[in-house]
Structure 1
Amino acid sequence: MSKQIVYTDQAPAPIGPYSQAVSVPAGAGMLFVSGQVAIELAPQGDIRAETQKVMENIGAILTAAGMDYSNIVKSSIFVKDMNNFAAINEVYGQFFTSDPPARETVEVARLPKDVNVEISVIAVI
């Protein structure tokens, strides 16, 4: 099995030993996008702006892989405060006009760089 690392400077560079995304098989098939955060906006507390930036980062990575939001089949949302669920959902939903992907939303104690939301996705061609 071959894999291809996907990288764009239109999204934050990884802050650890991981890739922005990995395409399997290389250049076609499935794309696994690492959790994206809005480091530059946290911890200001504007969850809508943070979620918007996270989704834009995901969009940039999808574009680098020759995909778009319609290719997403699975999302995982990690949120520091479940009281922000409605606001996150409102922004997230704007990126899926029809046939939204499968998803889970999980409240966690803490996220990297003290952000308020992190989203990862799996996309397919």
Structure 2
Amino acid sequence: MPTHTRIRMFNTKETYPNQSLDNDLCQAVVAGNTVYVRGQIGTNFKGELVGLGDPRAQTEQAMKNIKQLLEEAGSDMTHIVKTTTYITDPRFREPVYQEAGRWLKGVFPISTGLVVSGLAQPEWLVEIDVIAVIPDKK
């Protein structure tokens, strides 16, 4: 009996054709009542970048992805307990956190924010991963 469920499995050969990779990954894992969501960026699930050069637009797309993945896992945005946000420029902090905050109003997760020298693709400006719970059925 599996102890976890993998959501939206993929291989990096398809998602990173410009790199020599061959890794089996997934977008989210449900383990018990916990959902771990892979870092989401400004690319939709069709592989199209939304918001080239625009950290706010990329954050909005990342949050749309997170919402969809949590729903597929049986949870939702109100059950996020932790976020980790990576930005490639400290000047992006306000637009990124303003947009993410719009999606998390009233949720009060714990949060870690990091400024990094780069993400997996140079056009990505922000990446957000979350941990959420699946509420008990009443």
**Given the two structures, how large is their TM-score scaled by the length of structure 1?**
0.85
Equivalent residues in 2 for 1:65-84 (5 A)?
A: 65-84=73-92
- Which consecutive residues of structure 2, in runs of 5 or more, have no partner in the other structure? 17-22, 44-48
Contact preservation (8 Å) 2:80, 2:107: no
Identity percentage of aligned residues: 29
Are 1:34 and 2:47 counterparts?
no
RMSD: 1.9
**Pairs aligned (count):** 117
Q: Which runs of 4+ in 1 moved over 3 A?
A: 13-16
Which position in structure 1 is the counterpart of 2:46?
A: none
Larger radius of gyration: 2
**Given the two structures, how large is their TM-score scaled by the length of structure 2?**
0.78
Match of 1:97, SS state, is coil
Equivalent residues in 2 for 1:1-125 (5 A)?
A: 2-7=3-8, 15=16, 16-25=23-32, 29-39=33-43, 40-41=49-50, 44-114=52-122, 115-125=124-134
Residue 14 and residue 119 in structure 1: after superposition, are their counterparts in 2 closer, same or farther (change >3 A)? farther
- Tell me, in whole angstroms, the C-alpha distance in 2 between the residues paired with 1:14 and 1:30: 26
Compare relative contact order (CA 8 Å, sep 6+) and give the higher one, 1 or 2: 1
